[in-house]
Chain A
Amino acid sequence: MTVPCSSAAPVQQKTALVVASGTDIDELLRSVLASDGWSIHHAVDNQHALALATTDPFDLIVTGRKMLGPDDVELLRKIRSARAHVRLIILTDRFTPGDVISAIREGAFSYFSAPFDASELAEMVRAAMTSPCWDDGIEVMSATPAWVRLAARCDISTADRLVQFLRGVRDPEIPEGIIYAFKEVLLNAIEYGGNFDPSQHVEISFIRARRAVACRVKDPGQGFSLEELRHAAIDSPADDLLSHVAVREAQGLRPGGFGLLLAKKLVDELIYSEQGNEVLLVKYVDPAISQGA
C-alpha cells in the first residue's frame, strides 16, 4: 500500500442520506448533521436507500440499525461501485465479526454495532463530514477468523476509524483494556514511527488464539532503544513517578510520555522487537494464565 491519500476532493455538496433507525438515533444524526448545515434525506430501508443513491450523489450515508450487517455491506458495495468516495457508516443490531472485516474491505467509513455510544457515533459522523481524504486509509491484507492483517495510514483520523472498527466487533473476549492499549501503541507508531506522514503506513495484526488475544503493530520508522526512554513515564522510578516530565522539557519534547506505560499496564505482556519499531501486545483470556497459575 503506497498510495499516499485519495485524490478525492474535500466534501463540497453537503448532502446526507439517513436510513431509519428509530427516534433516538435519527434525532441524534439530524442534530449533528443539521448543526453544520447539511441537507438530510431519509430512507425507510436499504432498498429505498439504494434507489435514492442511484439518482442523488450523497456525500454521507448512515445505514439503519434494523438492517442486517451483511445487507449493509451489500448496500455499501453497490453504492461504492458507482460512487467510490461516498462515506458510509454502518449501524446494525445484528452482525458477525466477519461482517466488520467485509465492511473494511468494501470501504466503509465506520461501523457501529449495538449497543451504540451516542457521543462516539456523533463524533464519527462529524469526522466523516470533515475528513478530506480517507478511503485508502485502511487496507485488509489478509483475514481469517483467527488472524487479521491490516495496513493503516499514519494519521489520527485513520487511527480513530480503526479503533471504532475494532470496537464494532463486540467480541466479549477483547476487553476494553486491550483496545485502549492498542490505541496508545498505534498512536505512538503513527507519531514517532510515521511522523504523521499520510504517505506512510503502520502494519497491524490481530491474532485470536484459544487462550489469548494479541496485537502486533509495526511502524515505518527506524525504531529506538528501550534504554533511551528516560523521557517516558515507563522509565520513571517508583518513588518519582513524574520525573520524566523534566527530562522531556530538557529535550524540548511536548508534554507526553504516558502512552507506553498505559499500554503496558492494560495488557498482560508488551514486547518490543530489537529494533524497537514493532510491538506485540498480549492479553490472556484464560484466567489461569493471566494470574500466573
Chain B
Amino acid sequence: MGLQVSIRKSGDVTILDLRGKSTIDDGESELLDSHLQKLVASGARKLLLNLADLTQVDSSGLSVIVGTCVSLRRQGGDLRVLRPSGLVLEVFRVVRLLEAIPSFEDEAQALASFGSRGYVASSS
C-alpha cells in the first residue's frame, strides 16, 4: 500500500490522516516529510497526525515526525499524534517518544489540547 496522506483542517489545526506505512522502503517517509515540510512552509504551526491507520513506522518515519515536531516548537507551534496502535504504538513506546510528543485517543481532545476553536473546514 505504501503511504497515503489525507489532509484536512479543524480551525487552526491541520490534521494529516496517514494510511499504510512510513518506512524507508519505497520512500514513504520521504513522502511524509515532503507533506509536512510543505505544510510548515505554508504557515501551518499546529499539526495533528492521525496514526489510526498507520500500520508500520521505522526509524526514518520517527525521524521525520520528530524533526517536524522540533521545528514547529521552535516556531511556537507543536505536533501531536492521534490513536497510534499496534506496531506503531509499540515503536513509539520503546523509544519513549510518547513522553516527548503528546498522544491522544480522542480527536476532539487532541484538538482541544492545541487550544483550537471549532471545526471550520475539511479538505483532502
Give A residues with C-beta under 8 Å from B: 119, 122-123, 126-127, 156, 160, 176, 180, 183-184, 187, 233, 241-242, 245-246, 255-259, 261-262, 265-266
Question: B4 → chain A, closest Cβ, in Å?
Answer: 11
Which B residues from 29 to 60 make CB contacts under 8 A with A? 33, 55, 58-60
Q: Is the CB of A242 within 8 A of B69?
A: yes
B87 and chain A: residue at smallest CB distance = A176
Instruction: Map CB proximity to A onto B60-100 as digits: 1 under 8 Å, 0 otherwise.
Output: 10111011011000000000000000010001001111011
Which of B5-13, B18-26, B106-114 lies at the interface with chain A? B18-26
The verdict on B2 contacting chain A, using a C-beta distance below 8 Å, is yes
Are A258 and B66 closer than 8 Å at their CB atoms? Answer: yes
- Chain A residues in 8 Å Cβ range of B99: 241
Q: A119-B20, A187-B24, A257-B59 are in contact. List 20 more A-B contacts (CB 8 A).
A: A119-B1, A123-B1, A123-B2, A123-B25, A176-B87, A184-B58, A184-B59, A241-B97, A241-B99, A242-B66, A242-B69, A242-B70, A242-B100, A246-B70, A255-B64, A255-B67, A259-B58, A261-B59, A262-B91, A262-B94
A258 touches B95 (CB 8 A): yes
Nearest CB to that of A183 among chain B residues?
Answer: B58
Q: Which 4 pairs from chain A and chain B are nearest by CB?
A: A265-B94, A255-B67, A258-B59, A259-B59
- Interface pair B63/A241, CB less than 8 Å apart: no
A-B contact pairs, 20 of them (CB 8 A): A119-B1, A119-B21, A122-B1, A123-B1, A123-B25, A156-B24, A187-B59, A242-B70, A245-B66, A255-B67, A256-B59, A258-B59, A258-B63, A259-B58, A261-B95, A262-B91, A262-B94, A262-B95, A265-B94, A265-B95
Shortest C-beta distance, A265 to chain B (Å), equals 4
B59: A residues at CB distance < 8 A: 184, 187, 256-259, 261-262
Q: Among the listed A241, A246, A256, A265, which residue makes an inter-chain contact with B60, where contact means beta carbons less than 8 Å apart?
A: A256
**Nearest CB in chain B: distance from A193 CB, A:** 16
Residue of A nearest to B2 (CB): A123
**Interface size class, chain B:** 20 to 34
User: Considering only CB atoms, which chain A residue lies closest to B56 in the complex?
Assistant: A180
Neighbouring A residues of B96 by C-beta, 8 Å? 241
CA distance A259 to B67 in the complex (A): 14
Nearest-CB residue, chain A, relative to B73:
A242
Q: Which residues of A contact B63 (CB under 8 A)?
A: 255-258
The reply to whether A262 and B67 contact each other, CB–CB distance below 8 Å, is: no
Task: Report the bound CA distance from A189 to B24 in whole Å.
Answer: 14
A266 to B69, CA, bound (A): 24
- Are B58 and A180 neighbours in the complex by a CB distance under 8 Å? yes
For the complex, give the distance between the alpha carbons of A246 and B60 in Å.
17
Closest Cβ of chain A to B119, distance in Å, is 30
Residue of A nearest to B64 (CB): A255
How close is B58's CB to chain A, nearest CB, in angstroms? 7
A97 to chain B, nearest CB (A): 23
